[in-house]
Chain A
């Protein structure tokens, strides 16, 4: 079983709909991250959380919100999806004792029509 699990793996939605992407991890890490990947732009950080009570904006947080329900769960929401949020989304985790190495889920491919 994967250590970092993202659901769903693929999602198609319509403009204006609310959508939630979920991430859970069994690595016991305290730090979790959400990124989006766009062709030619690499990965950009949306939000990150260093523990359950700590949520921080990344470089592209507008239009997104997050919830850290437990140490192992970190959800990303699009309150009102728009077409330019069509992208590949990745969740990642890290351990402060791990030399800042991050471990990634398999990704969620989101299309907003």
Chain B
């Protein structure tokens, strides 16, 4: 079975500072990896995904993530955050072909002026 661990439930950061949201996964088979963002009172939308190929994945709004197979991690980074990045971020994993996502418990990013 697969599982996802998001190590930080909340991450407070000042505007224009860099941020890293951590995600580790567990799986005995190859997986696809995703980051979704949930803005207040909205559904989830895809930030970025790793299916194969380059381990550095760039997404929307200046976010990027790096797949590290040896560390079983898929951490999300942004070099300079904005107030508008305040949201909840979910890491998710799926087994290719299964078409089912398994989500982490989420990290609430709070950006302060």
CB neighbours (8 Å) of A90 from chain B are: 43-44
Tally the A-B contacts, defined by beta carbons under 8 Å: 53
Q: Chain B's interface: helix, strand, loop or mixed, by majority?
A: loop
* A30 CB to nearest chain B CB (Å): 10
Q: Which residue of B lies closest to A59 (CB)?
A: B102
Residues of A73-110 whose CB lies within 8 A of B: 90, 92, 94, 96, 99-107
The answer to whether A104 touches B99, judged by C-beta atoms less than 8 angstroms apart, is no
The answer to whether A42 touches B9, judged by C-beta atoms less than 8 angstroms apart, is no
Scan B11-50; emit 1 where CB is below 8 A from any A CB, else 0: 0000000000000000000001010100001111110010
CB neighbours (8 Å) of B34 from chain A are: 101
Q: Which residue of A lies closest to B34 (CB)?
A: A101
The answer to whether B105 touches A41, judged by C-beta atoms less than 8 angstroms apart, is yes
Give the total of A residues in contact with B, Cβ under 8 Å: 25
Determine whether A72 belongs to the interface, using a CB cutoff of 8 Å to chain B.
Answer: no
Query: Looking at chain B, what size class is its interface with the partner chain?
Result: 20 to 34
CB neighbours (8 Å) of B101 from chain A are: 43, 45, 100, 102
- Cβ contact of B45, chosen from A31, A40, A104, cutoff 8 A: A104
CB neighbours (8 Å) of B51 from chain A are: 99
A8 to B6, CA, bound (A): 31
Determine whether B69 belongs to the interface, using a CB cutoff of 8 Å to chain A.
Answer: no
* B22 CB to nearest chain A CB (Å): 15
